[in-house]
RNA sequence: GUCCCCUUCGUCUAUCGGUUAGGACACCAGGUUUUCAUCCUGGAAAGAGGAGUUCGAUUCUCCUAGGGGAUACCA
């Protein structure tokens, strides 16, 4: 049987880290089994669903290349089908109409609470006759759940778990306005879509026991379930804005690579021995549901950042240059000239080992793009104290006389100067770097001076001296 | 309140009864380097607590504590 998985987000907000990981696991499992990965937008809550959220979800998935098979399915377009099944359940005698008012139900819950019992529907209309129905209340349809015994779910991640049926109540499948509830819709949609494996967040686990009774009543085969633990913030609580509660697109904004996101999220809850760096291709081969852990994980942006540094360092220079070009064009409205781009490409090996995000990398390139006088960052200003400026001034006289301008000559010149004046190389090199790049961190100094050219290099030093 | 789940270094995790409890990130120290970063070497750092089962428990069982989730005419 062909494996079919699905990602079923409700478009009520951005696509956050947890959602992406769920999508990733579904996608990987489908690919690993040569199956299908489908997308279903659960937009039946018309009040909370928004067009922006739908787009955010799809754009997020597209960014990470988690492409779904076939057309996405909108749950809202399938309401008639859900109603049909709801009514069939009614006909079959597995469901019944309930005429309780909302007030009555609230009262019921509060009473249960006072008695320290689980607040649930008491089954008032389960056996009552239609003729007793009040005229002024539109009924809801509730499913008849077994009241004794227990229900068991054999979850791939959570294991074999059962709860007593008296914990469950006869939940609503069709609202008084005739619309289906989520509990019914998921079951019908998963069935109609041929979903074989439901991989979703742990927060849906207890729903599974309810949904199972719908499957049973309809005599439908239950899919396999894998409930994955939730992701928490660093404080152990809910994901906070600082830690993962942002939309995935903001990680793109912050300069995180998609391969970083995928690799990081994969390792959050899933592992393969000591393996940390896992490409998408490898992940497809290795992924399995059995290696998903049972405990929740915390979102640690430090780890994400360090992984990102790894992926930046291992990316092709040409690709990074292109990314930087786009960064300047989109975020700063600056078109980098081809000449400057080739300078950046030339210096990329020295640059990319020093950046942890694309944004850092791009900012690091600024001295290639700027022309004298360049702006100095905080650290370089600190380097350029009076003493160091004086050192520069003295050396400038010698440097300006250098005739052959290439890195070998420059290195030779600088080293000779230091030797002759009995100063450490760093004593001269660091102020030079600060003056020439406006930064305390940069690729190799000699090479950099060569590519910048004599005039530009000297101009930048002159600007400091003044 | 009730039900369900979880608990190994600060963080992500390995371990499927016998290990000096391993790796990675972060941290600290040293080395390489013109600075910073990279890189290399080393270090500190963990089985929530308590009972059992067993020759032997991180691993199996129970209790307690802590955390999370679910308890909607939301999804």
State the Cα–Cα distance between residues A25 and A22, nearest whole angstrom: 5
Number of C-beta neighbours around residue A375 at 10 A? 11
Taking each continuous run of H as one helix and of E as one strand, the counts in chain A are 20, 12
Map tokens 């793109």 to a residue.
A252
The lowest-confidence range among A164-178, A212-226, A284-298, A365-379 is A365-379
- Contact A150/A164 with Cβ under 8 angstroms? yes
The alpha carbon of A39 is separated from its chain's Cα centroid by a whole number of angstroms, namely 17
Closest nucleotide (CA of A293 to C1')?
A: B13
Task: Considering only residues 299-338 of chain A, list those whose CB is below 7 Å from strand B.
Answer: 300, 302-303, 306, 309, 313
For A119, counting Cβ atoms within 10 Å of its Cβ (0-12 exposed, 13-18 middle, 19+ buried), the class is middle
Q: If we measure between CA atoms, which residue out of A247, A275, A245 comes closest to residue A263?
A: A275
10 Å CB burial of residue A345 (0-12, 13-18, 19+) is middle
Using the structure, give the distance in angstroms from the CA atom of A396 to the C1' atom of B11, rounded to a whole number.
Answer: 49
DSSP string of A393-405? Answer: HHHHHHHTT--S-
Q: Does A92 have pLDDT greater than 70?
A: yes
Strand order in the sheet with A150-155: A159-164, A150-155, A224-228, A197-201
Q: At A211, which helix (H) or strand (E)?
A: helix A205-218
The whole-number Å distance from A298's CA to B68's C1' is 12
pLDDT of A129 > 90? The answer is no
Question: Which tokens go with A334?
Answer: 């600056």
Please tell me what DSSP assigns to residue A100: -
**Average pLDDT over every residue of A106-123:** 76
Q: How many CB atoms lie within 10 A of CB A465?
A: 11
Q: Which nucleotides of B are covered by protein (CB under 7 A)?
A: 1-8, 10-14, 22-26, 34-38, 67-75
Both structure tokens of A167: 């914990």
How far apart are the C-alpha atoms of A324 and A230, rounded to whole Å? 35
Whole-model pTM: value is: 0.93
| A205 CB less than 7 Å from any atom of strand B | yes
The nucleotide minimizing the C1' distance to residue A294's CA is B6
Record the tokens describing residue A298, joined without a space. Answer: 């915390």
CB A183 within 8 A of CB A214: yes
Q: What is the dihedral of CA A310, A316, A322, A327, to 10 degrees?
A: 0
- Contact between the CB of A230 and strand B at under 7 Å: yes
Whole-angstrom distance, CA of residue A149 vs CA of residue A426: 79
Percent share of chain A, pLDDT over 70: 98
CA of A295 to C1' of B45 (A): 22
Length A425 CA → B44 C1' (Å): 35
| Pairing of the two strands A197-201 and A95-98 | unpaired
For the ranges A2-16, A44-58, A444-458, which has the lowest average pLDDT? A444-458
User: pLDDT tens digit string along A389-414?
Assistant: 888 888 998 998 888 888 888 888 89
pLDDT tens digits along A240-281: 555 567 899 999 999 999 999 999 999 999 999 999 999 999
ipTM of the complex: 0.95
Q: Are A428 and A384 in contact (CB under 8 A)?
A: no
Contact predicate A296/A230, CB 8 Å: yes
Taking the stretch 246-275 of protein chain A, residues with Cβ within 7 Å of any atom in nucleic acid chain B are: 267-269, 271, 273-274
Residues 6+ apart with CB under 8 A from A320: A312, A348, A352, A361
Q: Is the CB of A118 under 7 A from strand B?
A: yes
């Amino acid at each position: 049987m062909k494996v079919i998985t699905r990602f079923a987000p409700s478009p009520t907000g951005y696509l956050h880290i947890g959602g992406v990981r769920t999508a990733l696991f579904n996608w990987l499992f489908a690919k690993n089994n040569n199956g299908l990965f489908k997308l279903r937008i659960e937009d039946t809550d018309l009040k909370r669903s928004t067009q922006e959220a739908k787009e955010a979800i799809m754009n997020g998935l597209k960014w990470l290349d988690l492409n779904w098979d076939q057309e996405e399915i909108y749950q809202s377009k399938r309401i008639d089908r859900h109603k049909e099944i709801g009514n069939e359940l009614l006909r079959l005698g597995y469901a019944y109409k309930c005429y309780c008012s909302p007030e009555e139900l609230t009262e019921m819950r509060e009473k249960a609470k006072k008695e320290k019992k689980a607040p649930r529907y008491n089954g008032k209309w389960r056996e009552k006759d239609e003729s007793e129905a009040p005229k002024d209340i539109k009924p809801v349809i509730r499913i008849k759940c077994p009241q004794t015994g227990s229900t068991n779910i054999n979850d791939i991640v959570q294991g074999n778990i059962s709860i007593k049926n008296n914990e469950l109540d006869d939940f609503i499948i069709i609202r008084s306005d005739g619309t289906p509830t989520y509990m019914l819709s998921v079951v019908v949609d998963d069935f109609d879509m041929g979903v074989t494996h439901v991989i979703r967040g742990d927060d849906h686990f207890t729903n599974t026991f309810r949904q199972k009774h719908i499957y049973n009543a309809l005599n439908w085969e239950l899919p396999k379930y894998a409930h994955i633990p939730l992701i928490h913030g660093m404080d152990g609580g809910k994901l906070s804005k600082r830690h993962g509660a942002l939309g995935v697109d903001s990680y793109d904004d912050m300069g995180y690579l998609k391969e970083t996101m995928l690799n990081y999220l994969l390792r959050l809850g899933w592992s393969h021995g000591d393996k940390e760096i896992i490409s998408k291709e490898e992940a497809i081969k290795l992924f399995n549901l059995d290696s998903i852990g049972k405990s929740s994980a915390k979102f640690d942006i430090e780890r994400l950042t360090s992984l990102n540094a790894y992926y930046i360092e291992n990316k092709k220079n040409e690709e990074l240059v292109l990314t930087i070009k786009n960064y300047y064009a989109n975020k700063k409205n600056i078109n980098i000239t081809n000449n400057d781009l080739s300078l950046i490409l030339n210096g990329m090996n020295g640059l990319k080992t020093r950046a942890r995000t694309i944004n850092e990398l791009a900012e690091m390139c600024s001295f290639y793009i700027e022309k004298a006088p360049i702006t100095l960052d905080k650290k370089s200003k600190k380097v350029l104290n009076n003493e160091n400026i004086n050192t520069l001034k003295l050396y400038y006289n010698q440097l300006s006389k250098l005739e052959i301008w290439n890195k070998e000559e420059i290195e030779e010149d600088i080293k000779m100067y230091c030797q002759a004046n009995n100063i450490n190389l760093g004593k001269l090199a660091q102020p030079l770097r600060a003056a020439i790049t406006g930064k305390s961190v940069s690729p190799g100094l000699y090479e950099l001076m060569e590519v910048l050219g004599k005039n530009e290099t000297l101009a930048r030093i002159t600007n400091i001296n003044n």
